[in-house]
Each structure stands twice: as structure tokens, then as C-alpha cells.
Structure 1
Amino acid sequence: MPLHGHFDVVGGISGDMTLGAFIDALPHLEQSLRDDLSAFGVLDHVTLTIRKERVMGLHVTRIDVDVVSDAPPTHHWHDIRAFINQADANPKVKMLAIDIFTHLAEAEAQCHGVPVDHVHFHEIADWDSLADIIGVASCVIHSGIESWSCSALPPGSGRVKTAHGLLPVPAPATVLLLRGFELSNDDEAGERITPTGAAVLKTLVSTPKAAAPSGWLNEIGISAGARSLAQKPNILRLFVSEVAIDKRGDTVTRLSFDIDDMTAEELSVALDQIREAPFVLDAGYHVGFGKKGRMRFCIEVLGIAGHESNLIDLCFAETSTIGLRIDDCHRRVLERLDAPENVKRVRRPNGVTAKIESDSLAATKTLKDRRTHSRNTEQQNES
């Protein structure tokens, strides 16, 4: 069964905390971690120390990355990308490290209003951050974990010192990276999620949810951050589980709501507008009856997972509803086979079936001819 990783962000998450959680859960990754950092040339400029500690009575792993005094600067994104690309290293690790850095660069570019290639990193691009990001990429690739989730995230509060002065917590780039993730304020102050930690979550967790899928827990790793919190341990936990994932299906977001104050014509136009959105899979309705015998339209909209906010805004803008029901549901989709553009051809358990689009029959005169044309086309594509 495939492996799933779940980050339980108790105290916070950063690059070195993520590394520590990996090594604590899966100690065998230490050798591949050091091998990959050496292949990228990172160990020429940093030393990596792995040590055990106790934090509020818990046994944890902490990783320290110390930069040597004569390490050259690594501030610009195009320099970092070139450094990673030219390394004689594991191509999968390279690709994932670039993905994490790209999310950082895009967030920084949006914050400062500059092109991505012109991004000049300050706090996140020293050699210790390179070690964190390449190290996390190494651990992810060699762990064999295929899917990821995370708990609700503590936003923290206060100010953080940056090259641009004191900025609010979470830092502006971190806020952009955490769009779509669930936040839960625990009243602990300070920077709880670093830009690097946020970029790791953004890259790995494709559908942010607070709950991990059901499965069988194999390993757990606990790491600690440098700061101490007032009410709880500043730790990050990593759960590694075996999960039964049906790869023949996927997850979609479903919005449902009822309307009794729009006409059928208005609703038809609204649903056409909703279906036009690129993140909408389908939209439709059936007729029901509400209080005092009033007729109502029961609407259901299916969208691509991860676009919940966009779906909500769209439905509120296009319809008169003042409330929505939202849930994620698992769906199964039949395998689509090659066919002419106007024909849906799928593989069913009992064989291949085909269905011609009704719009393709509109130009054919008489019902008999339309049925004959439909039958012939479908039989041709089913054989």
C-alpha cells in the first residue's frame, strides 16, 4: 500500500524542523541526505549536526546547519536555480528542490512587484536554507511517501526582523504561500511558520486539509524548533502511514444550495456562467418543494479540489443564495478512450460503449435520421 505523510504542526514548521522530523521518523534517510547534500556541493559550505534533545519532556531530533565563514553569497533566484540545475545529483531531488524554491520565488515576486527571475532573496537564501530545501527534497524522494497532508496551522503573531525592517507575522511571502490552508490561532506569539516551511507545505500538500486519510501508522518523527513557546512544546510531528488509496478515482469539491427566488431563465444563465469557470467540473439542479409548498431549485456544483474559495465566490456572485453546503467527495471516473471529438467513448466492466453528443445531431433532419445516425456512429466506435 502507498505511504502517506502527515505533518502535525504543533509548534510550527521550518526547513530544519522538517528535516529533523524526517530523520527522527526514518533514521535510514540520514545517509542519503548527506550523500545528496554532498553531490550538490552544499556540504562544502555547511556542517550538518543531528542531535537528540528533550523538549517539555519529549524526546526529539534537532538538526543544526552551520554555515562556514567563507561561504559565497547565494542571494539571487536565477543563481540558485543555476546552482541546483548544474549539480551532478539525483534528478528527482533537483526537480523537487527547484519546485520548492520556485514557490518561494513566486511569492516573493508578488510581494515586491518584480519579475520572478529578478527576485533577490534575503532571509531565505543563505547556505543553511539551501541545505534545508535540498535536504527536504532528498528526504521526500528517498522516503517513498506518495501523498501528504497537514494539520491546521498556527499563524503566530508579532513582528519579525527582515532586510526590509520589522514585518508582521506571518511574513508577507508566508501568507501568500498559505492560501487555502486551514489556520488555527492558539495565542502563542512569534513566527511559527517560516517562508521555507510554508513553501514545503505548498509544494507537498496538493489539497490542504486538516485531517489525514485513514490508514495504518508505521512511523512517527518529532523535531523541535529553536524557540520556546509559553504553553506548548515547539515541535513538529511527522506521521508516516500506509493508506488504502483508490487510484482509479479522485477527490472533488461539492457545493450544494437551494434557491426559491430566481426564475428558471435566470438560473439557466447563472449555471452557464458557473460552468464557464476553468475550476468547475459540472453544475446542475433538480426541482424540489420547500415550506408553504413553494417550489425551489436544488443546485449542485462540482469543482476541482483546492479551489474551494473560488467556487464559493462564484456561486455567491452568480446566484441569489445566501448560504452553501460544502464537502469533499471521492468520485470514480471511467477510462476515456480515443474517439472523434463529438463522441464519448469509455471502457466499462462489460466492454466499450460510445455516446454521440446531441449537439452533433442538430443539423440532421427528422427524428428517424437522427436516431439512425446516432446508432451507426455509436456502433462504429464500440466495435
Structure 2
Amino acid sequence: MKRIHLDAVGGVAGDMFVAALLDAFPELHARVMDDARAVLPAGVGVAVLTEGESGAVRALRFGLQAGAGAGRTHARGHARTQDHAPTRGDAHDHDHGHLHDHGEAAVAPVAKPANELPAHAGTYPDMRARIANAALHPGTAAHAAAILALLARAEAAIHRVAIEDVHFHEIADWDSLLDVVAAGSLAAALDGAEWTVSPLPLGGGLVRTQHGMLPVPAPATAALLEGFDWRDDGVAGERVTPTGAAILRHLARPGRPAGGRLMASGTGAGTRSLRGMPNVLRALVFEEASPDDSYDRDTVAVIAFEVDDMTGEEIGTAAERLRAAPGVLDVSLGQLQGKKGRPATAFRLLARPDAADAVARACFEQTSTIGLRLTEERRLTLARAAGEIAGVDVKRVARPGGATAKAESDALTGATLAARRAAKVRAEAPSGQAAEDRDA
């Protein structure tokens, strides 16, 4: 399984995402360009991938180059705020793929070939129809439509309009469609990959939109990326675009990759120069370092904290309730000596990463702790299965050196300790010895 980590050094926009991934996976270039040609109408331009640099770092740029009859230049840098250089508090154009409501009536999807749709199909239904009717590679349409729907829903909610009334601003409509379809093509080609993204640059200032001046991050971007991690590096401007936000919401989760062998990397850039740093998005591609079919690999959230002011009864109750909380895989307790020599109890919980926030909330509710530590760790587990030996329920485990069996403690019944231990011995004996016992 591939693990793709997006390192948002300068920011995230649709074109930066596509360029970074095509740099890391050059074998996907033909596929992405084919899908771009299939969805763009004649005359608006062609998709191009060029090499350059940003902040002395070599990078690729992806964009729409004007073609015959296009009527205006669609090169990146004209319609992308990633490519301007505002200072904190400055207003600047906010086109790059942002959806806008123009108060128009809803337009139903047109059941025509992509090259016969209107030359300026700017509404969400028009764009959706163009994707649905284009001759795209398998999987591209589904991913592209999902990204586009995320954008449209966010804009509809922010501006309180029906989703069918959401409109792409005319300057950037084909740029936006190109980014969405190219990202969908990459997502489909890399189906099954695990995506993560670093903390995102917050930016600052204002952007000029069809709705007037809006704060950065744009409302749609902020709505799409609730739950993601952000950082403030002091550099103003719009650093994460709505299209980039929709791609992240569709594919990635915040956090670090589980690790593995670094197989490839790619760098995509905007044309804007950032103070003191390259304006790039990096894609780091990892694969399992030591594949072994006997192991299952996953990532778990680890939540740890200590308490020194709860009674034994309270600790026992809290542990049982936390063990039963959704998403919790295990709860363990340890004894230690805390500050001022007081005895303390250490809690350590394993949970599914997607349940970590809810489990942390439960820890605050069920215990007296006022702080906890939250990390993610790689985990290797052995294949296991339930079974029965000598009338006792057991857990069989496939180990590299051979299978083992362990009696389930709840299944060990008997009037005395000796009886329970005898049942345990029969259940956990090697298979040949267990057969001899049964024959006897």
C-alpha cells in the first residue's frame, strides 16, 4: 500500500497538487493529459506541465495555456491568488476555482457530449454534466464529481443558496474544471493509497470576491477543512484555495504518515514568491519497508495521562467506561509515583485514529485529568482466529515460528483454581498433545 504525504510548505491549490503528484508519478502524465483534453471544450486552451523553480527549489507547474480561439489568457498567475503577492490585510483577486453564486436559475445537466456543451458552462450542474459526459479514464469521473460536489456544497452553505444555483466565476471556470478533473484522474490512478497532510499555512488578509471582501482563509476553505491542523508562519495572502481544500477533504487526513520506505517525491509550485520560503507543495510517497504477509499493519492513536486524585473505585469505573467507548481498542493502567511523592495511576488508551478526538473527550469526562498526550503509532498485529480445543474457547494466532493457541479467560470455568488451570493446560497444549489427551 502506498502512503502519500502532502507537505504544505507554501500552501495547497489544485494546480500545485496536480503538479506535485505528476512530478512524483511521471508515468501518470499521459493519463491526466488525456482526461484534461476530454473535458475541456475546444478553444479554451490546453493543459501544460512546465518545469521551473520556486525559492531556489526545482518544481513543476501545471496550468491551462491559451489555445486558438480561447479569447483570453488562462495561464496560471492570471486567475490564481497563489500567484499574487499581497501583504497582510491587502485585498486581492480571488478567482482560482472559487465557486460563486450569481443568483441565476438552476440549469439541469445537459445530456450532450462534452465538446458540445456551452463554451462557458459556469454553473455547478453544467460542470457536473461536462464531467459525466466526457470520455475519461475509469474512476476519474467519480473522484472529480466528488471533489466538485464538496466545493459546491461548501459555497451553497456559506452563501445560503441552493446547490444548483452555485456558479463558477467566469474568469476561472476552465482552470477550476481542469484542476478538479486532473486531481480526480490522479486519485483514481492511485486508488487505495493512504493520504496524509501536514499542518496548513493559515495566511491572512482579505480576498476580493464577487461577494465583496472576504477574510482568509476564505469561508468555503475554512468550512471544508474543519478538523485539519493549521499553522501561522507569518506570511500573508491566501495560502490554501477552495479547490485545494476540496481535494484535501476528499483524499487526506491531517497528520504524519505511518512511515515506510521513501519511494518517490514530487514538488508542485505556484508562481507567487513567498518571503523566506519556496511556494511549493511536496508529495512524499512511501511504501512498506519490510512487507510480510504474516503481519497486519495499521496506525493507532495513543492517548496517555496520569491522575493522582481519584479513588480506586472511581479509577475502575472510569477504565471500564473508557474501554467500552466507541473507537477504543485497549485500555491499560499502571502505577507510578507522582509529584510530591503521591501515588498516581497512568492511563494508556489505544484507539482508532478517526476516533481520537471523541476518545480524548471521553477521558476528560470520565477522569479528573486536565491534560493528556495524543500521538499516533504504527502497529503490527498477527492474524488471529477464534476456535475451540478440549471444550474451551481459544484464540489461535499465526506466528512466524508456528501457530499458538491461548485459552480465553472467560471460558475457563471450574469450581477450583486447580480445575481452571487444568482446562487451560488442555486448551493450550500443542496440537499433537491435545489429540493424545482427547484419545486418552
Same fold (TM over 0.5): yes
Aligned CA distance change for structure 1 residues 79 and 242 (closer, same or farther; 3 Å): same
Task: Check whether the contact 1:251–1:305 (CA below 8 A) recurs between aligned residues.
Answer: yes
In the other structure, the counterpart of 2:338 is 290
Aligned CA distance change for structure 1 residues 193 and 304 (closer, same or farther; 3 Å): same
Amino acid corresponding to residue 299 of structure 2 in structure 1: T
Alignment pair present for 1:231 and 2:276 = yes
Give the distance between the partners of 2:30 and 2:317, measured in 1 at CA: 60
In the other structure, the counterpart of 1:348 is 398
SS where residue 285 of structure 1 aligns? strand
Give the distance between the partners of 1:87 and 1:338, measured in 2 at CA: 50
Between the two proteins, the alignment pairs up a number of residues equal to 372
Aligned CA distance change for structure 1 residues 332 and 229 (closer, same or farther; 3 Å): closer
Q: CA deviation at 1:374?
A: 8.7
Q: CA deviation at 1:372?
A: 9.3
Alignment pair present for 1:195 and 2:242 = yes
In the other structure, the counterpart of 1:62 is 61
Of the two, which has the highest radius of gyration?
Answer: 2
- Percent identical residues: 35
Where structure 2 has 5 or more consecutive residues not aligned to the other structure, the ranges are 72-117, 436-440
Amino acid corresponding to residue 120 of structure 1 in structure 2: V
Give the distance between the partners of 1:172 and 1:308, measured in 2 at CA: 26
Q: RMSD of the TM alignment (CA)?
A: 4.0
TM-score between both structures, scaled by the size of structure 1:
0.78
Alignment of 1:1-383 (within 5 A): 3-39=2-38, 41-44=39-42, 46-47=44-45, 48-65=47-64, 68=70, 71-76=119-124, 80-81=127-128, 83-85=130-132, 87-105=134-152, 107-108=154-155, 111=158, 120=166, 122=168, 126-142=173-189, 146-209=193-256, 213-221=259-267, 223-244=268-289, 248-291=296-339, 293-337=341-385, 345-349=395-399, 350-351=402-403, 353=405, 355-356=407-408, 358=410, 366=415
Amino acid corresponding to residue 398 of structure 2 in structure 1: R
SS where residue 7 of structure 1 aligns? strand
Describe the superposition over 1:149-178 as per-residue Cα deviations: whole angstroms up to 9, x where unpaired: 333321100112334332211122322333
Describe the superposition over 1:331-353 as per-residue Cα deviations: whole angstroms up to 9, x where unpaired: 2233344769x967443223363
Task: Check whether the contact 2:56–2:278 (CA below 8 A) recurs between aligned residues.
Answer: no
Q: CA deviation at 1:288?
A: 3.3
Amino acid corresponding to residue 244 of structure 1 in structure 2: A
Aligned CA distance change for structure 1 residues 215 and 97 (closer, same or farther; 3 Å): same
Give the distance between the partners of 1:37 and 1:53, measured in 2 at CA: 22
Task: Check whether the contact 2:147–2:247 (CA below 8 A) recurs between aligned residues.
Answer: yes
Task: Check whether the contact 1:3–1:144 (CA below 8 A) recurs between aligned residues.
Answer: no
Aligned CA distance change for structure 1 residues 327 and 23 (closer, same or farther; 3 Å): closer
SS where residue 397 of structure 2 aligns? strand
Aligned CA distance change for structure 1 residues 216 and 53 (closer, same or farther; 3 Å): closer
Where structure 1 has 5 or more consecutive residues not aligned to the other structure, the ranges are none
SS where residue 314 of structure 2 aligns? helix
TM-score between both structures, scaled by the size of structure 2:
0.69
Give the distance between the partners of 2:313 and 2:155, measured in 1 at CA: 45
Amino acid corresponding to residue 222 of structure 2 in structure 1: V
SS where residue 375 of structure 2 aligns? strand
